[in-house]
A and B are shown apart, each in its own frame.
Chain A
Amino acid sequence: MDLSGKRVILHDMCLRDGMHAKRHQISIEQMVAVATALDESGVPLIEVTHGDGLGGASINYGFPANSDEEYLNAVIPHMKSARISALLLPGIGTVDHLRMARDCGVQTIRVATHCTEADVSEQHISLAASLGMDTVGFLMMAHMIEPDQVVEQAKLMESYGANCIYCTDSAGYMLPDDVTARIGALRDALDPATEIGFHGHHNLAMGIANSLAAIEAGASRIDGSVAGLGAGAGNTPLEVFVAVLDRMGVATGVDIFRLMDVAEDVVVPMMDQAIRIDRDSLVLGYAGVYSSFLLHAKRAAAKYGVPSHQILVELGARKTIGGQEDMIEDVALNLLKQRNNDAA
């Protein structure tokens, strides 16, 4: 694979996707420390919000240590050259949250929908675009549909005003050929001025390989997180990815040694548990289940005494999608009932 001479924008997820792995309990001090270190390493774009985006604070997804507004107001003044982005899932957050984020100084907004439901993003994308924000349409769980269907949905988001479209592997299910097919189809079909991005999860250890495939097929923005801090087995480990890109002659503007230090000295010590491909994360990737379900399933398993991987397999069989965290306890209760009936 020859990618030399290409340039990509790297987008760090530690302080948003990483919130899932931290049960949304990252402190203000940690947020500032990580963001500052990433900024100093040359990472151009850093996402900061509740793991489920603006307005994600809830019983369903977890109440965060601080509000989105508090995090954004704390982090943004410290940034020298990095821009701060925020995620917004219509149905969870609203345009009120979007305006709040912009008032805090957020310049990039990523409006995320399930891959078949792009038309719920019109309100938010068109507002962000009209406010002159860097406006990204973020199609989640994109493994669940064919490349031409991804294109159809991406075109809707583009028509509302998105200047960048993401193909998002929320379950860490895709293999490199799946990425190539989807990103390639997007690149062929969208306006040449529309950027294309890829967001991976490392549940099948495909984060790096998939991100490379994405660049080769035409993506120019790639998500990752330092030390992989993210949902499931984490996001594409950013410091590893930068090392690979350096070797391949792809320009990122990121200082690899400084980024290694951020991973080793700042992010890893923050972790509540090792971010690795344990059995549950592997099930996510293997069965195509939303990565953020991981810790919720482990908690339900501990509470009701049913195996977490069994909960995840059932969630996959039910074709649940991002945001349906409420079904985790429901599934656990059903498994418990079933076991009690079997025993009776």
Chain B
Amino acid sequence: MKINAALIGSGNIGTDLLYKALRSQWINPVWMVGIDPDSEGLARARDKGLKTTHAGVDGLLPHIEEDNIQIAFDATSAYVHADNAAKLGALGVLMIDLTPAAIGPFCVPVVNLKDHVGKEEMNVNMVTCGGQATIPMVAAVSRVQKVSYGEIIATVASKSAGPGTRKNIDEFTRTTAQGVEDVGGAEKGKAIIILNPAEPPLIMRDTVHCLTEDVPDEEAIRESVNAMIADVQKYVPGYRLVNGPVFDGHRVSMFLQVEGLGDYLPEFSGNLDIMTAAALRTAELFAEEIDNGTIKLRAAIA
């Protein structure tokens, strides 16, 4: 049975997520929440048969019970998220957080999704787009041998970086660096983001550098990286290793390209696509667990 879900945020991310969720075997998107009555995203959601409100999360709260909403995706901003999380958490809704608020533990599905099951977590955070694209590669190296330093450079087309990211670019670098450590397994993490305005827009590029503590085991790392690429491709088909792994002393470098599916957002916005795909993948796993009774949602203690 599908699990009913609400999408909070009717912008680009919310809309792309909606298109993906409509195809899901496990998630049934019921509500979309916005703050602007003239929002195109809300209109589009209504066209697809969703209920909508432009009164923010408060407009959704009275319907949680009657519509049996068990999962909510938050694609608003880090600042709004805390409030959304508190209100929905109190009603027992599991929150998939796509903002860089990082209230809950980080989730990069291909690396640690299974770790979250059974922990009765009410809020998981999807790190950042750069994190979703690069942390799997750091983890691919760190599962072979110790990584003392992991550094990622995410380059996205200017057109695919929204006002939220721009206004709070420090949150991106901080949260991503933290994810490189906590989920990627690097002892120390560093993240850099570049917005490139070239026309036609460039497809998202990501470079991952790891410094291994000992001499890198080239064969094992190559194998691990290739396996990880294939795992990410299961939910992001346009995830591709362009060059590498390059071995240079203790440095191991991977050069990636992330092309989106083009559901709602253009293909070059691989950064946004990998975010929505990862969020949906996470929700689907939780939905599966809710359905088979492995996890039971409960109201978080306020």
Q: A: which residues have CB within 8 A of B?
A: 58-60, 90-92, 94-96, 114, 116-117, 119-120, 122-124, 303, 318-321, 323-324, 326-327, 329-330, 333-334
Contacts and interface: CB of A to CB of B under 8 A. Distances in A.
Contacts of B167: 119, 122-123
Contacts of A334: 242-243
A59 B166 contact: no
A175 B207 CA distance: 34
B125 interface: no
B211 to A, nearest CB: 7
Interface residues of B, number: 35
B158 A330 contact: no
Contacts of A333: 243-244, 246, 255
Interface stretch (B27-35, B195-203, B231-239): B195-203
A188 B299 CA distance: 59
A213 to B, nearest CB: 26
Nearest to B192: A92
Interface of B: 149, 151, 153, 155, 158, 163, 166-170, 172-174, 190, 192-198, 202, 205, 207, 209, 211, 242-244, 246, 248, 251, 253, 255
A59 B196 CA distance: 20
A319 B209 contact: no
Please provide the 8 A-B residue pairs with the shortest distance between their CB atoms, ordered closest to farther. Answer: A326-B207, A319-B198, A94-B170, A59-B209, A116-B197, A333-B243, A91-B193, A326-B153
Contacts of B253: 59, 329
Contacts of B149: 59
Given A327-B205, A330-B243, A120 B195 contact: yes
A319 B251 contact: no
Nearest to B154: A91
A58 B177 CA distance: 12
Nearest to B196: A321
24 contacts: A59-B253, A60-B209, A92-B173, A92-B192, A94-B174, A95-B170, A114-B197, A117-B195, A122-B166, A122-B167, A123-B168, A124-B170, A318-B198, A319-B198, A321-B197, A323-B192, A324-B155, A324-B196, A326-B205, A326-B255, A327-B207, A330-B207, A333-B243, A333-B255
